[in-house]
Structures are given as structure tokens and as C-alpha cells.
Chains A and B, each alone.
Chain A
């Protein structure tokens, strides 16, 4: 089944404790991206990757890191999480053409206390 797999689904952590949210897709998509969803704000792009070893900032990159060492994987790293990073996070992928919508992962609900 074609899908984007995101883990974990739920995560509660403390301020300052480094964490990684994993994302993997099995569709050979070139384009991958991370979004955060907050009430009243919709989804906002954090980082994106056009292909292996090619990553760039989205609209809200502060406090996050990413890497793309393999085509299928695109982890999101929070090196020192803060309470304002409490949010619902989505990983998404697509073929490189703009006509394609994204395929989304099932989301990670992160709470930083």
C-alpha cells in the first residue's frame, strides 16, 4: 500500500529534551515536507526537500532540523523543544510536479511541557 508512515503518533516530552519524529514513504517521491497544524492557522510548512541531500526552510523553520540522506526518509528533529512547539505535525510527500497533491502521514501530536 502506498503510504507515508510517521512515528510516533503521540509524544509528550519535557522542555529541552531532544526528539526525532520519523517519516518514511514508499512511493519513490522526490518531494517531502513537514508541516505543523495549529488551530486557526491551518497548516504551515516547516521544511521541505526536493530530493536526497537537498533541503530548505519553509515558513516556520525556527527550532527544527531535518535531513534527507535517503530518498524514502525525512526525519524531523527538535534539538531543544519548547512549549510553543506543542502542535500537530504532518509529514507529506509528492512527485516533483506541482500538479500533484501531497500524500500525508497520519500526524504526530506533540506536547512539550
Chain B
């Protein structure tokens, strides 16, 4: 079974600065997808970014980018020019590309605080 580990329960960043959230995963599969979700105080789960394992190029969405290291099974999220609205819980998630239940397997989350 796959596992996802987020080793930073809490992080803090100054407004306009850059922060990196860490995520590692364990799998024996070669084809899968990785996601970062944001959960603000409203508790809505919002998809931030997605990475396909067979693509070497790191995904980017505006101020959000990932550093995907397949051999190291690492998938970190970088937030540039942090804004107050970025304060939230962030979850890393894994989804197998194979047949079967294709559950999203989540890490335990990192709470990001943004200081003005």
C-alpha cells in the first residue's frame, strides 16, 4: 500500500517571501499522479497543483510550483510571493494510475501561517 508523509506539521512564512512544503511518498508503482490540496479555514478542499509521474518537467501554476524527484519519491510544493490568503492547511496526495479503487492517499497535512 502507498503511504504519504508530510513531516512538517506547521510552517510559517512572511508575506511576499517564499516557502517550501515537503512531501515524501512510498510506492512500488511506476505510474501515478501526485497532488497538492489547500484547505483554508472554510474547510473547502481546493486542488492547487497536479504532477504526472511520467513527466519529468515540474508542474507550475502561477505562484505555486513543485519539485518532483521521482527516484527520491519526493514531491515538495513551493509557494512564491506568499500572500495572506495562502494561509491554510496543505495536503499532499497520491493516486495510482493502475486499475482498482484509485483512492487519493493523503498525508497528514502541513498548516501554513503567513505573517504580515
- A residues whose Cβ falls under 8 Å from a Cβ of B: 31, 33, 40-45, 48, 50, 56, 58-59, 88, 90, 92, 98-99, 101-102, 104, 106-107
Closest to B101 in A: A48
**Contact A104 B106, CB 8 Å, known A43-B91, A48-B101, A98-B95:** no
Residue tally, chain B, CB below 8 Å to A: 27
Contact between B95 and A59, CB atoms less than 8 A apart: no
Closest Cβ of chain A to B47, distance in Å, is: 5
Consensus secondary structure, chain A interface: strand
- B residues whose Cβ falls under 8 Å from a Cβ of A: 4, 6, 9, 32-33, 35, 37, 42-45, 47, 50, 52, 91, 95-98, 101-104, 106-109
Contact between B101 and A104, CB atoms less than 8 A apart: no
- CB neighbours (8 Å) of B91 from chain A are 42-43
- CB neighbours (8 Å) of B102 from chain A are 31, 98
